[in-house]
Amino acid sequence: MLSDVLRTVSVELPKGFEAQAKAFLDLLKEWNQRINLVSRKQTDEDLEAHLLASLAPLELFPKVEDRPAFDVSRGTMDLLDVGSGGGFPAIPLLLARPEWRGELVEATAKKCHFLREAAERLVPQRAEVVNARYEELEPEREVYGLITVRAVTIDPALATRARWQMLRQGFFAGHAPTAPEAQEAVRHALAEAGFEAVELRRVEWARCTLAIGRKP
Q: What is the model's pLDDT at position 209?
A: 97
What is the per-residue pLDDT across 109-153, written as a single tens digit (0 to 9) for each? 999 999 999 999 999 999 999 999 999 998 888 899 999 999 899
CB burial class (10 A; 0-12, 13-18, 19+) of residue 205?
middle
Does pLDDT of 210 surpass 90? yes
- Least reliable range by pLDDT among 4-8, 67-71, 110-114, 135-139: 67-71
Q: What is the model's pLDDT at position 139?
A: 82
Q: Do 101 and 129 touch, CB atoms closer than 8 A?
A: no
What is the per-residue pLDDT across 48-64, written as a single tens digit (0 to 9) for each? 999 999 999 999 999 99
Q: Is the dihedral of CA 202, 203, 206, 209 positive or negative?
A: negative
Collapse the DSSP code of 95 into the 3-class scheme (helix H, G, I; strand E, B; otherwise coil) and give the result. Answer: helix
Full residue range of the structural domain in which residue 45 is found:
2-214
Q: Do 90 and 116 touch, CB atoms closer than 8 A?
A: no
pLDDT over 90 percentage in the chain: 87
* Domains identified in the chain, total number: 1
| 4-31 mean pLDDT | 96
CB burial class (10 A; 0-12, 13-18, 19+) of residue 33?
exposed
What is the per-residue pLDDT across 83-117, written as a single tens digit (0 to 9) for each? 999 999 999 999 999 999 999 999 999 999 999 99
Collapse the DSSP code of 146 into the 3-class scheme (helix H, G, I; strand E, B; otherwise coil) and give the result. Answer: strand
pTM: 0.96
CATH code of 118's domain:
3.40.50.150
CA separation, residue 181 to residues 4, 91, 156, 176, 178 (Å): 34, 30, 15, 11, 9
Does pLDDT of 74 surpass 70? no
